[in-house]
Amino acid sequence: MASVGEKLPRINHDDEVFALMHKILSSPIHTVYGEDLEKIYQLNVEITPNEISKLTEKMRRMFLEQPVLLTIGNDPITVVADMHGQSIHLLRILLSCEAPPAQKFLFLGDYVDRGSQSIVVICLLFCLKHRYPHHVFLLRGNHEDINTTLNYGFYDECLDQWRSEEIGETMWKTFIETFNCMPLAAVIGGKVFCSHGGISPWMDTIEDINSVKINNAICLVKRSFSVQIERPLVVPPYGLACDLLWSDPSQPEKNGWGLSHRGISFTYGKSVVDEFCAKNDISLMIRGHQLFKEMYPQGSVIRFGGRLISLFSALNYEGHRNNSSVLKLDFSGSRVKVKQILYRCRHYAPLKNHEILACRDMKLAKQQEKRRGSRMDSVIGKI
């Protein structure tokens, strides 16, 4: 299978996307206070409904041109898990890991809910994905869903953002329609399987994500039929698409499949992971979705003899004072080298007053394009 993005340009030169990305990245930081009077640091940026409508329309087309299962090459790549509306921390990750196009990124979902700036986070990631289609890959998480966003903050943030229930609800629906088009899983370098939650008992091989054969055990009839995950997709209450977003690894002492404590999907143990990896020639599984207590110091946890890494990238999630991390993957032949970058909660503070997070080259980009007659790649840095 060809790698994702082979037919796409290295950089999409779109003035509207470029302008919105520049607006977000050059915006100053301000302080607001939560319900417990805790300081929350945010980007002071106003994104208009018109900008969102145009951006999401472009992203829906781009997502639907890609398969449900992304196949990414073996270039070095940074894997980022749950962000949950943390705009400042997202910029911190981009600054410390080298931003695209200098570095490739795979995001594992859960961009919205819980945090204070979900709209900014998802708009910035959409801009980066659209401008750098070869270097930014976005998977869907369980929070990129109509029911979850109704209950955990994103819907309310959309209503509060424009102080108009009609506009806010329209924007929320626009985002949901875009989420419904996103891919659900990825394979990196042919060796690393990534999804937000994990794997599924409905899946025999990885290729089943694009075209599934399911034994109809529910009806106790020994027959199989083909099912394709068609998008736009509303996340179903059961089945392969549901499990890719919702399943969890079981405790180390448990094996096989089990019912999830979440009341949706399943848990999977070491024997299931070993069988899946052996059948699909996979060396490593990376997923997000879950903040274990044992993960608080390191931002990740390794299970099942090193076959599975659960990653969490949202720092100080809901005031839990947890550290967070991202993973850098490097490939050497059939071997995968994994390096963790840890972000400590005690460093969760705003930049100094004279510092602004921005794109170093973006302010001069248009002048340079006029002089040289070509577009310039942007590198995120400090001004």
What's the pLDDT at 4? 53
Question: For the chain, what is the domain count?
Answer: 1
Instruction: Please say if the pLDDT value at position 245 is more than 50.
Output: yes
Task: Decide if 379 is inside a domain.
Answer: no
The residue that leads in pLDDT, 257 or 370, is 257
Task: Decide if 352 is inside a domain.
Answer: yes
The CATH number covering residue 169 comes to 3.60.21.10
Q: Which tens digit of pLDDT belongs to each residue from 138-196?
A: 999 999 999 999 999 999 999 999 888 999 999 999 999 999 999 999 999 999 999 99
pLDDT band at residue 287 under the 50/70/90 scheme: very high
CA distances from 327 to 79, 115, 196 (A): 5, 22, 15
Task: Decide if 275 is inside a domain.
Answer: no
Q: Which residues are known to be catalytic?
A: 143
Query: What is the domain extent for residue 128?
Result: 23-193+292-372
- Yes or no: say if 152 and 31 are a contact pair by the CB < 8 Å rule: no
Q: Enter the pTM of the model.
A: 0.87
Task: Decide if 136 is inside a domain.
Answer: yes
Q: Which tens digit of pLDDT belongs to each residue from 36-71?
A: 777 788 999 999 999 999 999 999 999 999 999 999
Cα–Cα distance between 44 and 27 in angstroms, integer? Answer: 6
Task: Decide if 29 is inside a domain.
Answer: yes
Instruction: Please say if the pLDDT value at position 377 is more than 70.
Output: no
- Yes or no: say if 37 and 109 are a contact pair by the CB < 8 Å rule: no
Task: Decide if 238 is inside a domain.
Answer: no
Task: Decide if 266 is inside a domain.
Answer: no
Cα–Cα distance between 114 and 152 in angstroms, integer? Answer: 6
Closest C-alpha to 121, from 103, 102, 135, 141: 141
Is the C-alpha dihedral spanning 349, 143, 109, 248 positive or negative?
A: positive
Task: Decide if 200 is inside a domain.
Answer: no
Cα–Cα distance between 42 and 22 in angstroms, integer? Answer: 16
